Amino acid sequence: MRKSQFIILSCIILLVLNPINVVNALEDGVSVPLVADKVTDNGEEGSLLGAQVIVVNGTGHVFVDTNPYTQVDLQGSARIAAMVASDVLGVDAKAYDFYYIIDISSPIIGGPSAGAALTVATIAAINNWTLKPNVVMTGMINPDESIGPVGGIPYKLEAAAAKNYTLFLVPEGQTNVTETTSTTSSRGSSIIIGDLEETVNVVDLGKKLNVTVKEVNTIQDAVLAFTDHEMAMPTYKGTILTTQYMDLLKPLAENLKNESGSMYNETTSSTSSMSRTQLTDTAKDILDRADKMYDDQKYYAATSLYFNSMFTMRFAQWKDGYEKASDKEQYLTQLTNKVEKQIQASESDLQNFTKYGITDVEAVGATESRITVARLRLDEAKKLNNTDEKISSLAFANERARTAQWWLILSTPTSKVVPENVLKDRAGWYLSQAQSINTYMITLISESGSHPEITSAASDDIANAQKEMESGYYAGSIFDSLQATTKASTLIGLIGQIEPQKKVDQSYEAAKASINEARLAGIEPTLAVSAFEYGETMTNPYDKISQYSYAKMIARTSIVLNSHSIPSNETPIKPVITPYVPEPLKELIPTPAETTKISKTKIEVPGFEAVAAIAILLVARRIRKQ
């Protein structure tokens, strides 16, 4: 069945189910011009396309119909257009279905440059606004609501002028663009083929064509130019790290500070010098940084670092024990059983906490996510043959399972629970959204020429979210899907950016506004605030933007989820903070210490750590033709 037939059939089905809304939507759907560029026998040329955007009450589906079929990036642009439009308007995207019908008269180069215009049309369709007939624009739509860079602008401007458009919107910073054209010349019997670069001021070019060229930075700027409707971005000038949040986090951070300090003393006094040097030095460095965060009242950042230090020390202890064990296989079996017992303890605490339903979805989601990772690492350890890698994975799984219990301690239960069917439905939707945006991001990154390894972080989160869906950990799946969406979105937003500080500032303000919105709705979004706090401690722009954006998405998602909550008379059972008591593994009869070489096993720093390779995106690149 052709895609256009599918779109028509879908509309017919919706017409039967909800005739009044759909008829009005079909009549009032917004038409918007799209400008692209194409390759012809005469070289590169601009091209005007037509698009119709229809938004109806629905369940969060995004349908894209193009004739002929186009690349995945146009479909990705449409999905992000629906997401950003909903985000800007503060509506639940899952309450609507979005239809994008695009007539492509000839093959075009890429599709991301249509994203911003499609977003404007989506906002107009939801609000029943009219677009000015003389305006056309080119620009990617980034998930952070900014307009991203595109190529082929002079050709697109010429196409717009030929159709009598008088206002041409371009991304900020792209009024001067460099275009590369192929040249052919002959020298004797030789033919020389080369590239010629030419810088074009499109403002001056527009004047010659009787077209005004204007830069736009955000989707709000574009909407104003198209509709004369001003959409102010929400701001909040108050405190995010409130006394309530600090009082909640400090006891846990203080307990971990004492525990990790005692664990360090225990490790340095009980392990052999050969095996402990590298690991204990690493642990001490992390501990020092954690204590600094604690003193600065960055309690979540401190707990994350204390976790890293305890993982490192656990690895040192168990590695030392293995080297001293007379029966090494039995020792590894003991370790495996110990980790399994710890994971089961965390699973039991979660089961007790959710016995009467799920309240504080953020805490439950964080707990489920950490249990899932712990079990995956345990399963991985069982398959490893390298001893150091096996012990490292076991140590990580053990400490990660313990962090699941920490999140239950940090929970702030209310007298309402979110029904499981709501969480399951939402988890599937957020996972689908994350997968689509991740695919779009991978396409754009591969086109930019950046190293593909920088795209793996979001894919890992998606794999975890899928595992959690299978396990019935729907809250965990939601927040891992949001994490994936955030990482992919941040990479998209940084494409072509040389100075990312403006995006850092925008994401910071957006996170503050969303957290405040959640609090006004009666929610204390601890997971969102912790991500915000962690972002403040980061130095890399990617890390800061990613954490602030994650905080924003968590807060907004919590508002949506809690809007579906129902009253409950039961109180969940929270674990309590217990003082640290060393629980050394029962030692097997050791053989005399053997002389061993210090392992070069890489110490993994988990959690919210940076994707170091992101720096490659912060270098100016040649924007591919879109």
| 56-100 residue pLDDT tens | 999 999 998 876 655 556 778 889 999 999 999 999 999 999 999
Share of the chain above pLDDT 70, in %: 80
**pLDDT at res. 76:** 82
Q: Is the pLDDT of residue 7 over 90?
A: no
Mean pLDDT for 466-487 is 97
Compare 483 and 615 and report the one with higher pLDDT: 483
pLDDT at 4 (0 to 100): 47
Residue 455 Cα to chain centre, angstroms: 11
How much is the CA Rg of the chain, to the nearest whole Å? 28
Q: What mean pLDDT is predicted for residues 504-512? A: 95
Q: What angle do CA 542, 543, 546 make, to 5 degrees?
A: 80
* Residue 386 confidence class, pLDDT cut points 50, 70, 90: very high
Residue 560 pLDDT grade (very low, low, confident, very high; cuts 50, 70, 90): very high
Over range 367-387, report the average pLDDT. Answer: 97
Helices 420-448, 72-89: crossing angle, 10 deg rounding: 130
Say what the pLDDT of residue 275 is.
59
501 burial class (0-12, 13-18, 19+ CB within 10 angstroms)?
A: exposed
pLDDT at 198 over 80: no
* Residue written as token pair 């096993």: 601
Which residue type is seen at 23? V
- Residue 122's pLDDT band, with cuts at 50, 70 and 90, is very high
Q: What are 495's two structure tokens?
A: 């494409």
pLDDT band at 21 (very low <50, low <70, confident <90, very high): very low
Residue whose tokens read 């977003």 = 119
* Domain parsing of the chain, residue ranges: 3-227, 243-571+585-616
548 or 440: which leads in pLDDT: 548
Res 577: pLDDT: 72
10 Å CB burial of residue 54 (0-12, 13-18, 19+) is: buried
Average of pLDDT values for 345-352? 96
The overall average pLDDT reported for the chain is 85
**pLDDT at res. 593:** 43
Task: Compute the average pLDDT of residues 568-593.
Answer: 65
3-state secondary structure of 366: helix
- What is the pLDDT, as a whole number, of residue 311? 96
- pLDDT band, very low/low/confident/very high, at 548 (cuts 50, 70, 90): very high
Question: Which of 150, 170, 174, 175 is CA-nearest to residue 216?
Answer: 170
What pLDDT score does 598 carry? 39
Helix (H) / strand (E) element for 381: namely helix 361-383
Q: What does the pLDDT average to over 396-415?
A: 95
Alpha carbon 44 to chain centroid, angstroms? 35
**Which of 227-231, 269-273, 320-324 holds the top average pLDDT?**
227-231
Question: What is the tens place of the pLDDT at every residue in 533-546?
Answer: 999 999 999 999 99
| Mean pLDDT within 126-131 | 94
pLDDT of residue 66: 78
Model confidence at 504: pLDDT above 70: yes
Most confident segment among 174-188, 312-326, 368-382: 368-382
Per-residue confidence at 196, pLDDT binned at 50, 70, 90?
low
pLDDT score of 240: 97
Lowest-confidence region among 188-192, 315-319, 336-340, 436-440: 188-192
Please state which CATH number belongs to domain 3-227.
3.30.230.10
Q: Mean of the pLDDT values across residues 15-43?
A: 64
Q: Is the model's pLDDT at 424 over the cut of 50?
A: yes
pLDDT of residue 193: 64
> Does this model's pTM top 0.75?
yes
415 is written with which tokens? 């007298």
Residue with tokens 């900014």: 146
User: If residue 81 lies in a helix (H) or strand (E), which one and from where to where?
Assistant: helix 72-89
Q: How many secondary structure helices (H) and strands (E) does the chain include?
A: 19, 13
Question: Closest by alpha carbon to 218, among 274, 165, 143?
Answer: 143
Which is more confidently placed, 52 or 452? 52
103 CB-contact burial (10 Å; exposed 0-12 / middle 13-18 / buried 19+): middle
